[in-house]
Amino acid sequence: MSRLRLLAATFVVAVALVAALPSTASAHPATGDLRNNHTLCTTCAVRQGDIVGLWQTMLWADGFLGQCGSSGVDGFFGQVTRRATINWQTNWNNTHPGDRISADGIVGPQTWGRAESKVLSINFGFFLYEGAIAHPTMREDQNSVWTFEPAAVFGTGELFGTNHPAITIPRC
Protein backbone atom coordinates (compact mmCIF):
# COMPACT_ATOMS: atom_id res chain seq x y z
CA MET A 1 0.00 0.00 0.00
CA SER A 2 1.34 3.39 -0.94
CA ARG A 3 1.94 5.93 1.77
CA LEU A 4 -0.89 8.07 0.41
CA ARG A 5 -3.33 5.15 0.42
CA LEU A 6 -2.28 4.24 3.94
CA LEU A 7 -2.94 7.80 5.09
CA ALA A 8 -6.30 7.79 3.36
CA ALA A 9 -7.25 4.48 4.97
CA THR A 10 -6.23 5.77 8.38
CA PHE A 11 -8.34 8.87 7.84
CA VAL A 12 -11.39 6.80 6.91
CA VAL A 13 -11.01 4.71 10.07
CA ALA A 14 -10.64 7.84 12.20
CA VAL A 15 -13.75 9.44 10.68
CA ALA A 16 -15.71 6.22 11.21
CA LEU A 17 -14.67 6.14 14.89
CA VAL A 18 -15.74 9.73 15.43
CA ALA A 19 -19.03 9.14 13.63
CA ALA A 20 -19.72 6.13 15.84
CA LEU A 21 -19.62 8.29 18.97
CA PRO A 22 -22.98 9.74 19.96
CA SER A 23 -23.13 13.47 19.29
CA THR A 24 -24.12 13.96 22.92
CA ALA A 25 -21.22 11.99 24.35
CA SER A 26 -20.16 14.69 26.79
CA ALA A 27 -21.29 14.37 30.38
CA HIS A 28 -24.65 16.08 30.64
CA PRO A 29 -26.78 15.23 33.67
CA ALA A 30 -30.33 16.34 34.25
CA THR A 31 -30.33 19.76 35.91
CA GLY A 32 -33.03 21.99 37.32
CA ASP A 33 -36.51 21.86 35.87
CA LEU A 34 -37.02 18.37 34.46
CA ARG A 35 -39.17 19.84 31.67
CA ASN A 36 -35.94 21.18 30.16
CA ASN A 37 -34.40 17.74 30.26
CA HIS A 38 -33.65 15.63 27.20
CA THR A 39 -36.59 14.11 25.35
CA LEU A 40 -36.43 10.31 25.55
CA CYS A 41 -37.95 7.79 23.14
CA THR A 42 -37.03 4.71 21.12
CA THR A 43 -35.79 6.81 18.18
CA CYS A 44 -34.62 9.92 20.06
CA ALA A 45 -30.99 11.07 20.05
CA VAL A 46 -30.94 10.29 23.77
CA ARG A 47 -32.28 6.78 24.33
CA GLN A 48 -29.62 5.21 26.53
CA GLY A 49 -27.96 6.13 29.79
CA ASP A 50 -28.56 6.82 33.44
CA ILE A 51 -31.10 9.49 32.47
CA VAL A 52 -33.20 6.72 30.94
CA GLY A 53 -32.76 4.85 34.22
CA LEU A 54 -34.29 7.82 36.06
CA TRP A 55 -37.39 7.75 33.86
CA GLN A 56 -37.58 3.95 34.12
CA THR A 57 -37.33 4.19 37.90
CA MET A 58 -40.32 6.55 37.83
CA LEU A 59 -42.19 4.02 35.63
CA TRP A 60 -41.28 1.24 38.07
CA ALA A 61 -42.34 3.34 41.08
CA ASP A 62 -45.76 3.77 39.45
CA GLY A 63 -46.10 0.06 38.65
CA PHE A 64 -45.66 0.25 34.87
CA LEU A 65 -42.21 -1.35 34.51
CA GLY A 66 -40.41 -4.28 36.13
CA GLN A 67 -37.66 -3.71 38.65
CA CYS A 68 -35.18 -6.20 37.17
CA GLY A 69 -34.14 -7.85 33.95
CA SER A 70 -34.57 -6.79 30.34
CA SER A 71 -38.17 -5.71 31.04
CA GLY A 72 -37.03 -3.63 33.99
CA VAL A 73 -34.86 -0.63 34.75
CA ASP A 74 -31.82 -1.16 32.53
CA GLY A 75 -30.96 2.26 31.05
CA PHE A 76 -32.14 1.38 27.53
CA PHE A 77 -35.25 3.03 26.06
CA GLY A 78 -36.61 0.10 24.04
CA GLN A 79 -40.06 -1.17 23.15
CA VAL A 80 -40.85 -2.33 26.71
CA THR A 81 -40.09 1.13 28.06
CA ARG A 82 -42.08 2.73 25.22
CA ARG A 83 -45.13 0.61 26.08
CA ALA A 84 -44.73 1.37 29.80
CA THR A 85 -44.47 5.08 28.96
CA ILE A 86 -47.72 4.95 26.96
CA ASN A 87 -49.37 3.23 29.92
CA TRP A 88 -48.02 5.90 32.29
CA GLN A 89 -49.30 8.67 30.02
CA THR A 90 -52.68 6.97 29.59
CA ASN A 91 -52.98 6.60 33.35
CA TRP A 92 -52.13 10.28 33.77
CA ASN A 93 -54.93 11.19 31.38
CA ASN A 94 -57.39 8.91 33.13
CA THR A 95 -56.58 10.43 36.50
CA HIS A 96 -56.25 14.04 35.25
CA PRO A 97 -59.06 14.41 32.68
CA GLY A 98 -58.63 18.18 32.68
CA ASP A 99 -54.91 17.94 31.91
CA ARG A 100 -54.56 15.46 29.08
CA ILE A 101 -51.17 14.83 27.42
CA SER A 102 -50.16 12.89 24.31
CA ALA A 103 -49.98 9.16 25.05
CA ASP A 104 -47.26 8.72 22.44
CA GLY A 105 -44.47 6.93 24.29
CA ILE A 106 -42.26 10.01 24.03
CA VAL A 107 -40.92 11.54 27.24
CA GLY A 108 -40.76 15.22 26.33
CA PRO A 109 -41.55 18.43 28.22
CA GLN A 110 -45.23 17.44 28.73
CA THR A 111 -44.47 14.08 30.31
CA TRP A 112 -41.37 15.21 32.23
CA GLY A 113 -43.45 18.09 33.59
CA ARG A 114 -46.24 15.81 34.85
CA ALA A 115 -43.69 13.45 36.38
CA GLU A 116 -41.99 16.41 38.03
CA SER A 117 -45.29 17.29 39.71
CA LYS A 118 -44.88 14.00 41.60
CA VAL A 119 -41.33 14.87 42.75
CA LEU A 120 -41.91 16.15 46.26
CA SER A 121 -39.37 18.13 48.23
CA ILE A 122 -38.34 16.60 51.56
CA ASN A 123 -35.48 18.77 52.79
CA PHE A 124 -31.93 19.95 52.03
CA GLY A 125 -32.18 19.15 48.33
CA PHE A 126 -33.68 15.71 48.87
CA PHE A 127 -36.90 14.70 47.16
CA LEU A 128 -39.16 11.67 46.78
CA TYR A 129 -40.84 10.58 43.57
CA GLU A 130 -44.33 9.87 44.85
CA GLY A 131 -45.03 6.70 42.88
CA ALA A 132 -48.04 4.46 43.34
CA ILE A 133 -45.98 1.56 44.71
CA ALA A 134 -42.65 3.10 45.77
CA HIS A 135 -41.13 6.48 46.62
CA PRO A 136 -37.53 6.43 45.36
CA THR A 137 -35.25 9.20 46.57
CA MET A 138 -34.01 11.97 44.32
CA ARG A 139 -31.55 14.75 45.04
CA GLU A 140 -30.87 18.10 43.42
CA ASP A 141 -27.46 19.39 44.51
CA GLN A 142 -26.27 23.00 44.86
CA ASN A 143 -25.48 23.05 41.13
CA SER A 144 -29.05 21.86 40.34
CA VAL A 145 -27.70 18.46 39.20
CA TRP A 146 -30.09 15.56 39.75
CA THR A 147 -29.16 12.16 41.14
CA PHE A 148 -31.58 9.40 42.04
CA GLU A 149 -32.05 6.05 43.76
CA PRO A 150 -32.41 3.41 41.00
CA ALA A 151 -35.05 0.70 41.36
CA ALA A 152 -32.45 -2.05 41.84
CA VAL A 153 -31.15 -0.44 45.05
CA PHE A 154 -34.45 1.00 46.27
CA GLY A 155 -34.40 1.34 50.05
CA THR A 156 -30.63 1.83 50.33
CA GLY A 157 -30.64 5.55 49.64
CA GLU A 158 -27.71 5.06 47.27
CA LEU A 159 -27.82 7.74 44.59
CA PHE A 160 -26.60 7.58 40.98
CA GLY A 161 -26.16 10.19 38.28
CA THR A 162 -28.34 11.20 35.35
CA ASN A 163 -25.80 11.38 32.54
CA HIS A 164 -25.99 9.74 29.15
CA PRO A 165 -25.20 7.64 27.20
CA ALA A 166 -23.16 5.76 29.83
CA ILE A 167 -25.13 3.37 32.03
CA THR A 168 -23.68 3.16 35.55
CA ILE A 169 -26.87 2.39 37.49
CA PRO A 170 -26.97 -1.03 39.13
CA ARG A 171 -29.29 -3.62 37.64
CA CYS A 172 -30.71 -6.66 39.35
Indicate the SS3 state at residue 111.
helix
Site size toward Zn ion, by CB under 5 A:
2
> To which H or E segment does residue 12 belong?
helix 3-20
Shortest spacing between CB 23 and Zn ion, in angstroms: 9
What is the Cα–Cα distance from 40 to 54, expressed in whole angstroms?
A: 11
- Closer residue to Zn ion, CB minimum distance, 24 or 87: 24
Shortest spacing between CB 24 and Zn ion, in angstroms: 4
47-50-56-60 Cα dihedral, nearest 10 degrees = 160
Beta-strand pair 137-140/126-129: antiparallel
Residues 23-62 contacting Zn ion, CB under 5 A: 24, 28
| Stretch touching Zn ion by CB under 5 A, among 21-29, 71-79, 101-109, 119-127 | 21-29
Measured from each CB, the residue nearest to Zn ion is: 28
Cis check for the bond before 165: say yes or no (omega within 30 of 0): yes
| Stretch touching Zn ion by CB under 5 A, among 17-25, 85-93, 104-112, 135-143 | 17-25
- Closer residue to Zn ion, CB minimum distance, 72 or 165: 165
- Closer residue to Zn ion, CB minimum distance, 24 or 31: 24
Residues 84-123 contacting Zn ion, CB under 5 A: none
- Closer residue to Zn ion, CB minimum distance, 26 or 142: 26
- Closer residue to Zn ion, CB minimum distance, 28 or 83: 28
The number of beta carbons lying within 10 Å of the beta carbon of residue 76 is 17
Return the closest-CA partner of residue 170 out of 63, 79, 57, 61. 57
Binding site for Zn ion (CB under 5 A): 24, 28
